[in-house]
Amino acid sequence: MALFWSLVVVDPLIILSTVFFGCISIVVSLFDKKGDATLGIARLWARSLLLITGVKVRVEGLEKLEQGRHYVFCGNHLSYMDTPVVLSNIPVQFRFLAKEGLFKIPFLGTHLTQAGHVPVPRDDPRAAIKTMGQAAAIMNERAVSLLVFPEGGRSLDGVLQPFKEGAAYIAIKAQAPLVPIALIGTREVLPMGSATFHRGPVVLKIGDPIATEGMILKDRGPLTDQARERVVAMLAVKGPS
């Protein structure tokens, strides 16, 4: 639940919910070796956030996911609300790539490590490759899915940016399907640079999983392009798919 510590909010109820669930999560993570219980707490927090802010989420394509399988989810990144929306509405065990600096914070670092989240070095390409290998190993060892925002950060203007190849690299390494997702409306709910939430509808579209069985790491470029094209297509359709 790295978002607990990176999201600045002004609503007292959101602050209370964040502190409450954050403290519980840190304590539980000390005893939760698999990270499943910790994720459950994060999911409760995310749902409370949506309830408090009055955000209504419509999910399309959930039937495309098979129960018991794990995936690499990749999509557009518009707002700090993206993670709570995905966490609340896709019922699979998730892990996240989180900023390396968060792992150095007392208690929080222990929580993130115990839960199975993966630290991301920003300025060391070799370390980044090692990190992606670790993420793939965690996926297979713990049978969990991974959420990646391949633009590398939130879009400043709301326009979809080029995708980095990390999500495709991890999916191929883990031989797990790569699932493109599209988020619509989160930028209006919580604009970048703002601490004020706005009520409004959000749509989460889940695309068809892209199989990676038999792919090698050299295929990550075309796979990245394919995933981005599918996100573009989903964003272009405003009505129900």
Backbone angles phi, psi at 164, to 5 degrees: -80, 165
In a domain, 226, yes or no: yes
Can you give the pTM of this predicted structure?
0.86
Q: What is the pLDDT along the chain (241 residues), one digit of tens a residue?
A: 444 434 444 568 888 888 888 888 888 877 887 788 888 888 898 899 899 999 999 999 999 999 889 999 999 999 888 988 998 999 998 888 777 777 776 666 666 777 777 888 777 778 888 889 989 998 998 889 999 999 888 877 788 999 999 999 999 999 999 999 999 999 999 888 777 788 899 999 999 999 999 999 999 999 999 999 999 999 997 654 4
Structural domain of 203: 3-236
Residue 241 counted as domain residue = no
Q: Is residue 151 part of a domain?
A: yes
Residue 115, domain CATH: 3.40.1130
Burial letters for 194-215: b for 16+ Cβ neighbours within 10 Å, e otherwise? eeebeeeebbbbbbebbebeeb
C-alpha dihedral sign at 210, 50, 76, 74: negative
Q: Give the total number of structural domains in the chain.
A: 1
- Cα angle 50, 53, 55; round to 5: 55
Q: Is residue 142 part of a domain?
A: yes
* Neighbouring residues of 83: CB distance < 8 A, sequence distance ≥ 6: 3, 46, 96, 147
**Does any domain span residue 212?**
yes
